[in-house]
Amino acid sequence: MKYTILTFGCRVNQGDSLAVEEQLVASGAVSAPAEQADVVVVNTCAVTASAEQSARQAMRRVARLNPAARILVTGCYATRRPGDLAEFPGVICVTPNQDKDELLATLLTTAERFGAGDGACGSAIAPGLAGRTAYTLRVQTGCDEPCAYCIIPSTRGRGRSRSLDAVRSDVARVLGAGFREIVLTGVHLGSYGRDFADGTTLATLLRQLDSWSGDVRYRISSLEPMDCTRDIVDLVADSSRFAPHFHLPLQHASDRMLRSMRRPYGLASYRVLVDGIRRRMPHAAIGADVIVGFPGETDADLETLLGYLESSPLTHLHVFPYSDRPGTAATALRGKVDGVTVRERARRVRAVGAGLADRFRRSQVSTVRRGLVIDDGSRAVTDNYLKVSFSPPARRNQWVDVKVTAVGDPMRGEIVGLTNVPPTAAPATASALRR
């Protein structure tokens, strides 16, 4: 059987798709372009109207180019509006998030029907699966936070953590397959362990992973600001195994807007957090999500947001123009901002974000960062989340020490050393490396 998996949205969806793909490959299925696939899995997102539209467009394209394809739809959009998606041509199955195990059973049954194999193919995972050199590992799903704009608690359910033993088992399996970087992710990652009610926290998990022997680097996915504790910051700063890379959704810098969004923090505490990270880790990447055009947002609120961002230590932004999500509290709020104004505000915030990214990239010129070689071997992703290109290429999935030589996207650099030992916590300079 030939298959394609189309994934939209967050790293959690990426992790879910990887798990599905592992099982398919183990059954003997073979990856193929969508126009040639027997089965196409569409793993959807519902965080914005645009994300849903992208999934619909992809499904229509598959049906047009490959009318014989069997399309199976899952993810948050499939959970929110299953009836709508079931009407699309070629769709044979719409599976909500909570029933993804049933989706896998359907896929494996379909694989047998196409003579994909008997599942006796051994371990199927290896660096390069789904085009990824790092492995995205979901350790938690669901969310109990009542953010006014967010539909995800209704599409993912309550917060649920995977057991420490299950995570350790997955880490052993992934490292045994040759992966050297693991991205830890969850819908509300910072709530890891709360459902156990035994004192287990995300810091508990991170400390256990930090003690793991072998050549591995962990990258922590998005953390809500109130969950990024001092223990976690200290662990990342002091450990040889965690990338100095944080993604801390801000959403807004106006406390009035944050209260309206039902975010459980204010700008002052967010500022203390990111300023503290910058002091501990001067080279760390610190990203943030920002929503513009939320109901009730005024010009003054926007100026507050722009003013903070321009003076912040953030290194990159994800900017989301607000759009109504039926079923969320925000849909009933007054003071909706018109579309033209929302787009203009988003443009201004993105311009600031571009300036922050450029400032950070320039600050990294002449430094040496440890990176993992990706793609065709001509680029590496550094510990602090820079993509650096170089020539001649190196072997994919190899650790390299890269000296950053020029600003760009990707950055330009040169390999100054090869290393297969766990990463150092402190940044190196080219001169220090040569000594």
- Regarding whether 383 and 310 lie in a shared domain, the answer is no
- Regarding whether 375 and 353 lie in a shared domain, the answer is no
Q: How far is CA 296 from the centre of its chain?
A: 29
pLDDT at 427: 35
- Give residue 253's domain range: 246-363
45 touches 80 (CB < 8 A): no
Identify which has the larger pLDDT, 60 or 114. Answer: 60
Look at residue 121 and tell me if it is in a domain: no
Strands (E), 228-315: 245-247, 285-292
Look at residue 176 and tell me if it is in a domain: yes
pLDDT at 422: 44
CATH code of the domain containing 304? 3.30.750.200
- Regarding whether 357 and 252 lie in a shared domain, the answer is yes
pLDDT at 195: 97
The residue assigned the tokens 């930090």 is 210
Identify which has the larger pLDDT, 324 or 130. Answer: 324
70 touches 90 (CB < 8 A): yes
* DSSP symbol at 283: T
Strand 217-220 to 245-247 pairing: unpaired
Strand partners, 399: 372
pLDDT at 104: 74
Amino acid at 147: C
At 147 the three-state DSSP class reads coil
Q: What is the mean pLDDT of the chain?
A: 91
- Regarding whether 21 and 105 lie in a shared domain, the answer is yes
Look at residue 120 and tell me if it is in a domain: no
Other beta carbons less than 10 A from residue 214's beta carbon: 11
Give me 391's structure tokens: 């020539």
DSSP result, 291-336? EES-TT--HHHHHHHHHHHHHS---EEEEEE----TTSGGGG-S-P
pLDDT at 24: 86
Give me 169's structure tokens: 């088992």
pLDDT band for 420, please (50, 70, 90 cuts).
low
**pTM of the model as a whole:** 0.88
